[in-house]
Amino acid sequence: MVEENQNELNAQLEVAVDQVLTGTVSKVDEKQALINVGYKYEGILPISEVSSLHIDKVADVLSEGQEIQVKVIRLDEEKDEMIVSKRAVDAVQAWGELQRKHEAGEVFDATIADIVKGGLVVDLGVRGFVPASHVERHFVEDFSDYKGKTLSVKVIELDKEKNKVILSHRAVLEEEVNKQKGQVLENLQAGSVIEGTVQRLTDFGAFVDVGGVDGLVHISEIAWSHVDKPSDVLKEGDKVTVKILKIDKDNERISLSIKAAQAGPWEQAAQDFRIGDVVAGTVKRLVSFGAFVEVAPGVEGLVHISQIANRHIGTPDEVLKEGEAVNVKILDINPDEERMSLSIREIQEEKQKQDTKKVVAQYQAEENAGMGVTLGDQFGDLLKKFKS
């Protein structure tokens, strides 16, 4: 009795082209499915009308007993044939949803259905495309591992007339980075000393990652000594300690210094050098009143012209030349004023004294051996000078 009533209702149901019906999948073949929509005969759903994307078998998308909505796209009462489309219904729903997400800038998940030349394809009820340049923030050479993978995306271009839906995963990643960058900038303070990683080297300096934000270490702030090229001192991936010099939150710029995070050359010199020390150095500059000698990176001391030689000289270049390696004695050091007084002459005079002592010792030994010649006879004047 129930079945007869249902048949009568089916017979009374009127169906028209473009009508959307809810039905149940009654049979699934390789290239089509039959959909029971309560009409006197079932609707035929061709494989081409199942999905917006290419599929190999209807069973890849549908199964018997599944309830779906379809649109009548062709009706032939004489042949008892009704062609329906699931794809058309999905597209109408998809365009409305995509328009809303596009306007709201909404981020949503999409599963990669296929890999094609130039990017990735997803099924959103309509075909969505993720260009290769919008997959990641970095260059990806091989996309083979992306099929079946779910990515968070947002719509960056939408054109219903051209059936065009462009998506971007990179835009989502960049938003996350910018959000993180804002948080990092809020927490950083000028004057702080923090750890960072060298990300990129340029001719004018090095970009250092300090917690998700890149700051610039200008070439003049890399070391206390002169640096010709950043690559002479640093390489990408190096861990460095930097001091924050300045933060420009509006323009998201951070100025950093590696050298300011280290003890200055004169601070170090105060620890390393003492008055009376003899150290090696290099003549950096010759001036009329003396020579400047570098005894450590960034630390130069003055050898006054009177302290260059143990004889009178008219100009420093009579004895020295720039670039020459010399030993100097520290006469005075003032780290606060970054000054150091040096002497080459005192080293020479000390050497002369040592040589004299050796000569005296030698002849003393000979006199004691009964040579019959006194030191006074041989070195009277020299001994007087030595004793004085």
For the cut 90, the answer to whether the pLDDT of residue 165 exceeds it is yes
Name the superfamily (CATH) of residues 105-173.
Nucleic acid-binding proteins (2.40.50.140)
Mean pLDDT computed over 134-141: 92
Residues 6+ apart with CB under 8 A from 144: 115
Measured CA to CA in angstroms, residue 59 lies from 30, 50, 266, 314 at distances of 7, 10, 79, 102
pLDDT of residue 11: 47
Answer yes or no: pTM beyond 0.85.
no
Query: What is 189-261's CATH superfamily?
Result: Nucleic acid-binding proteins (2.40.50.140)
Sign of CA dihedral 286, 289, 295, 298: negative
Lowest mean pLDDT among 12-16, 157-161, 290-294: 12-16
**Percentage of the chain surpassing pLDDT 90?**
64
Give CA–CA dist 361/333, Å, rounded.
Answer: 36
Q: Which CATH architecture has domain 265-343?
A: Beta Barrel (2.40)
Residue 344: partners with Cβ closer than 8 Å, 6 or more residues away: 303, 307, 308, 309, 326, 327, 328, 329
pLDDT per residue over 307-348, tens digit each? 999 899 999 999 999 999 999 999 999 998 999 999 999 999
Nearest to 221 by CA among 200, 204, 209, 202: 204
Does 105-173 match 2-89 at the fold level? yes
2-89: in CATH 2.40.50.140 = yes
Domain ranges for the chain, please list them: 2-89, 105-173, 189-261, 265-343, 348-387
Average pLDDT over the chain, rounded to an integer? 88
**To 10 degrees, what angle do helices 375-387 and 345-368 make?**
150
Model confidence over 270-305: pLDDT tens digits?
999 999 999 999 999 999 999 999 999 889 999 999
pLDDT digits (tens, 9 = 90+) for 193-251: 999 999 999 999 999 999 888 999 999 999 988 899 999 999 999 999 999 999 988 88
pLDDT value of residue 2: 42
**Residue 369 pLDDT exceeds 90:** no
